[in-house]
């Protein structure tokens, strides 16, 4: 019964994705259409594209299980932080200014923005290299958790699951570009909204309802050492929880695949609508995911343990919670996680391919490149990035002893946000930020991430480094937060003591905020 239901729902799901790819292919004939949907994407599509790119299977399976296990119901604060800081505040602070300035300078990617904002090709190339290095492991991680979930239903090799997901995602992105991604994100977002509500209800009913499940959780002692820790308002470790909230919420402000959504939105008035839609979506999906993960301790006797660390295999917590649910709910979960994975995968590979083509290949080319040629190259790199991510994911699954990939993923978010958040934010609002300050922030963010990676991979004992340093490099979450917050301090300080950009050049850039701008749909989008 379960296999039949899942199979039917997956066939319908994949058929819709393929249809959308064909339907939107006419919108992907030039660079702006392929990368940004002609800058004419409405608030609903943009908001859902933002939300589905934000909340991938990494969050639903990995983070929800891990943080729910560590913090109990208090992990819900991470979801609320994602909604109000990562969505509501991000749209209000970044939305309009990002759209207006990127349209004014005709920037199509975040590296392109840096290049034109600071009149520096080298800065654009450097940002592109950072995106390339740190988005690949991020992309590979999206397949995490699929093995355990599909193992509940299908007796098929994990590599088949990865291959099917990679091929289908690549298909509709290659054909339809950003517009196909946005429309499919909307469909996948609807699935995620209804799916998470159904799953939460089913899990709670499986544990006697909300009240009984909470009472049972309150009796758990676990790692906290005291009963009631996992139902406490701030959980057993409020400081660690705060770091999680900051990284997963504020970090989105510096991620190129997230900020890029503001480039494509149709008009300023649509930003206000998109803000509301995106925030509500985040409250339900992110808040629901972390709230669900908070009950993971109730399944402690069933969860697989890592023999090397003695800790639970966090990616198995959420799948274990579903193992006793009805067939229909399991089928919904399968489609839900696939939706979360494919929506984020499409966003990441489109970001990676467009960045590498427009900000590295095109500047390096001695000949003028037509739009058609640029789109062709981007399609090639979409195939390349998807193939690489799939190979890495398959290799990681068959060689669990190799920890580099997992650890690299852990620092990807912190590295990108640490390098880009501060110069991007200040670059939108402050005329005085300098190219040198931006370079320093790039080095700072990536440097912190690399140090964290070396410490983790080499098993370096940091207990003798002092209380502060030991805490910073205790985990990629802590170091990622320090990278971001440090960048917000470093950029203005360095800018005060380094060479300023040409005054007239900067004034011309900021004049765009004084104008009432509206994007005009391209003819091919009408």
pLDDT at 517: 47
pLDDT tens profile 327-351:
777 787 788 878 877 888 888 888 8
Asked whether residue 226 carries a pLDDT value surpassing 90, the answer given is no
What are the structural domains, with CATH classification, of the chain?
2-365 (1.20.1730.10)
Closest C-alpha to 244, from 469, 457, 470, 62: 62
Give mean pLDDT, residues 453-474.
83
Asked whether residue 304 carries a pLDDT value surpassing 80, the answer given is no
pLDDT at 525: 42
Beta-carbon contacts of 359 under 8 Å, excluding residues fewer than 6 positions away, are: 109, 111, 112, 115, 124, 125, 127, 128
> What SS3 class is residue 370?
coil
**How is the chain split among helix, strand and coil, in percent rounded to 5?**
80, 0, 20
> What SS3 class is residue 72?
helix
Give mean pLDDT, residues 88-111.
92
**Contact, 359 vs 112, CB < 8 A?**
yes
Asked whether residue 147 carries a pLDDT value surpassing 60, the answer given is yes
Among 85-94, 237-246, 279-288, 401-410, the range scoring the smallest mean pLDDT is 401-410
Round to whole Å and give the CA distance between 345 and 329: 24
Give mean pLDDT, residues 223-227.
78
pLDDT at 110: 92
């Amino acid at each position: 019964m379960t296999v039949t239901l899942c199979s039917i729902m997956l066939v319908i799901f994949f058929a819709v994705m393929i249809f959308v790819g064909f339907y939107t292919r006419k919108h992907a004939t030039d660079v702006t259409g392929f990368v940004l949907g002609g800058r004419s994407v409405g608030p609903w599509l943009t908001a859902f594209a933002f939300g589905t790119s934000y909340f991938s299977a990494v969050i639903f399976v990995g983070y929800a299980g891990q943080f729910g296990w560590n913090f109990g119901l208090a992990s819900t604060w991470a979801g609320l932080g994602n909604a109000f800081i990562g969505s509501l505040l991000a749209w209000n602070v970044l939305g309009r200014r990002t759209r207006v300035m990127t349209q004014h300078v005709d920037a199509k990617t975040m590296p392109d923005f840096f290049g034109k904002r600071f009149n520096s090709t080298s800065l654009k190339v450097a940002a592109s290299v950072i995106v390339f290095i740190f988005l690949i492991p991020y992309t590979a991680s999206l397949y995490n958790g699929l093995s355990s979930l599909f193992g509940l239903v299908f007796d098929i090799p994990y590599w088949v699951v990865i291959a099917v997901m990679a091929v289908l995602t690549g298909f509709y992105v290659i054909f339809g570009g950003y517009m196909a991604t946005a429309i499919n994100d909307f469909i996948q977002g609807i699935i995620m909204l209804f799916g998470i509500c159904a799953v939460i209800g089913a899990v709670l009913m499986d544990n006697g309802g909300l009240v009984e499940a909470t009472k049972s959780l309150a009796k758990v002692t676990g790692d906290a050492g005291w009963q009631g820790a996992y139902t406490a308002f701030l959980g057993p470790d409020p400081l660690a929880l705060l770091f999680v909230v900051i990284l997963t919420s504020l970090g989105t402000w510096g991620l190129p695949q997230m900020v890029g959504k503001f480039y494509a939105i149709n008009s300023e008035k649509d930003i206000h609508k998109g803000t509301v839609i995106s925030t509500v979506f985040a409250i339900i999906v992110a808040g629901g995911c972390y709230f669900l993960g908070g009950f993971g301790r109730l399944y402690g006797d069933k969860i697989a343990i890592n023999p090397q660390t003695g800790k639970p295999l966090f990616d198995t917590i959420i799948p274990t919670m579903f193992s006793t649910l009805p067939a229909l709910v399991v089928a919904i979960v399968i489609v839900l996680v696939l939706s979360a994975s494919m929506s984020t995968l499409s966003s990441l590979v489109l970001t990676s391919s467009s960045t590498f083509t427009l900000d590295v290949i095109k500047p390096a080319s001695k000949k003028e490149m037509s739009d058609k040629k640029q789109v062709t190259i981007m399609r090639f790199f979409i195939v390349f990035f998807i193939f690489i991510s799939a190979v890495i994911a398959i290799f990681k699954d068959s060689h669990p002893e190799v920890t580099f990939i997992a650890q690299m993923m852990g620092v990807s978010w912190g590295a990108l946000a640490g390098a880009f958040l501060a110069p991007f934010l200040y670059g939108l609002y402050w005329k005085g930020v300098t190219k040198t300050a931006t370079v320093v922030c790039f080095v700072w963010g990536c440097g912190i991430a690399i140090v964290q990676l070396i410490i983790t991979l080499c098993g370096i004992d940091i207990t003798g480094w002092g209380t502060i340093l030991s805490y910073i490099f205790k985990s990629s979450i802590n170091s990622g937060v320090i990278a971001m917050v440090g960048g917000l301090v470093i950029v203005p300080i360095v800018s005060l003591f380094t060479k300023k950009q040409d005054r007239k050049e900067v004034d011309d850039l900021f004049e765009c905020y004084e104008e009432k701008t509206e994007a005009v749909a391209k003819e091919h989008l009408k």
